[in-house]
A and B are shown apart, each in its own frame.
Chain A
Amino acid sequence: MSILVNKDTKVIVQGFTGKEGTFHSEQCIEYGTNIVGGVTPNKGGQTHLGKPVFNTVADAVNATGATVSMIFVPPAFVGDAVMEAADAGIELAVIITEGAPVKDMMYAKMYATKKGMSTIGPNCPGIITAEECKLGIMPGNIFKKGNVGLISKSGTLTYEGANQVVQAGYGITTAVGIGGDPIIGLSYLQLLPMFENDPETEAIVMIGEIGGDLEIQAAKYIKENVTKPVVAFIAGQTAPKGKRMGHAGAIVSGSAGTAKEKMEALEAAGVKVVVSPAEIGKAVKEVLSK
Chain B
Amino acid sequence: MNIHEYQAKSIFKSYGVPTPRGIVATTPKEAVRAAEELGGDLWVVKAQIHAGGRGLGGGVKLARSIEEVEELADQILGMTLVTHQTGPEGKVVHKVYIEEGADIKDEFYLGVVLDRAKEMPVIMASTEGGMEIEKVAAQTPEKIVKVAVDPTIGFQGFHGRELVFGLGITDKNEQRKFIDFASKLFKIYMDKDVELIEINPLIRTKQGDFLALDAKMGFDDSALYRHPDIAEMRDITEEDPDEREAAEHGLSYVALDGEIGCMVNGAGLAMGTMDTINYVGGTPANFLDVGGKANAQTVAKGFEIILKNPKVKAIFVNIFGGIVRCDRIANGILEATKMVDVHVPVVVRLDGTNAAEAAEILKNANIDNIIPATDLLDGAKKAVAAAKGDLK
Interface residues of chain A, those whose CB is within 8 Å of chain B, are: 24, 27, 75-76, 99-104, 106-107, 109-110, 125, 137-139, 141-142, 152-157, 159-160, 163, 180, 182-183, 207, 209-210, 212-213, 217, 233, 235-240, 242-250, 254-255, 259, 275-279
B117 contacts A213, C-beta separation under 8 Å: yes
Question: What's the Cα separation between A211 and B354 when bound, in Å?
Answer: 34
B138 — which chain A residues lie within 8 A by C-beta?
255
Binds A, one of B297-305, B373-381, B384-392: B373-381
B323 contacts A137, C-beta separation under 8 Å: yes
B359 — which chain A residues lie within 8 A by C-beta?
none
Point out which of A209, A238, A247 has the most chain B C-beta atoms below 10 A from its C-beta. A238
Chain B residues within 8 Å of chain A by Cβ, number: 56
A247-B272 CB under 8 A given contacts A183-B116, A213-B116: no
A276 contacts B323, C-beta separation under 8 Å: no
Question: What's the Cα separation between A154 and B151 when bound, in Å?
Answer: 29
A-B contact pairs, 15 of them (CB 8 A): A76-B225, A101-B226, A102-B114, A154-B268, A155-B268, A156-B268, A156-B269, A156-B322, A160-B320, A238-B278, A239-B287, A240-B256, A247-B267, A276-B272, A278-B377
Choose from B220, B271, B277, B380 the contact partner of A236 (Cβ within 8 Å): B271
A102 contacts B287, C-beta separation under 8 Å: no
Interface residues of chain B, those whose CB is within 8 Å of chain A, are: 85, 114, 116-117, 119-120, 133-134, 137-138, 150-152, 190, 193, 195, 220-223, 225-226, 252, 254, 256, 264-272, 274-280, 284, 287, 289, 292, 320-323, 351-353, 375-377, 380
A155 — which chain B residues lie within 8 A by C-beta?
266, 268, 292, 322
Question: What's the Cα separation between A269 and B266 when bound, in Å?
Answer: 29
Measured CB to CB, the closest approach of chain B to A208, in angstroms, equals 9
A233 — which chain B residues lie within 8 A by C-beta?
272
A243 contacts B376, C-beta separation under 8 Å: no
A254 contacts B322, C-beta separation under 8 Å: no
A142 contacts B352, C-beta separation under 8 Å: yes
B271 — which chain A residues lie within 8 A by C-beta?
154, 209-210, 235-236, 238-239, 245-246, 250
Choose from B137, B193, B264 the contact partner of A103 (Cβ within 8 Å): B193
Main SS at interface, chain B: mixed
Which of chain A's residues has its CB closest to B266's CB?
Answer: A156
A157 contacts B375, C-beta separation under 8 Å: no
Measured CB to CB, the closest approach of chain A to B181, in angstroms, equals 22
A104 — which chain B residues lie within 8 A by C-beta?
223
Choose from A183, A217, A277 the contact partner of B272 (Cβ within 8 Å): A277
Choose from B226, B279, B323 the contact partner of A27 (Cβ within 8 Å): B323
Measured CB to CB, the closest approach of chain B to A139, in angstroms, equals 4
Question: What's the Cα separation between A90 and B138 when bound, in Å?
Answer: 43
Question: What's the Cα separation between A33 and B222 when bound, in Å?
Answer: 31
Which of chain B's residues has its CB closest to A239's CB?
Answer: B271
Which 9 pairs, one residue from A and one from B, show the smallest C-beta to C-beta distance? Answer: A154-B268, A246-B267, A156-B266, A101-B223, A235-B271, A254-B134, A278-B377, A156-B269, A157-B268
B323 contacts A153, C-beta separation under 8 Å: no
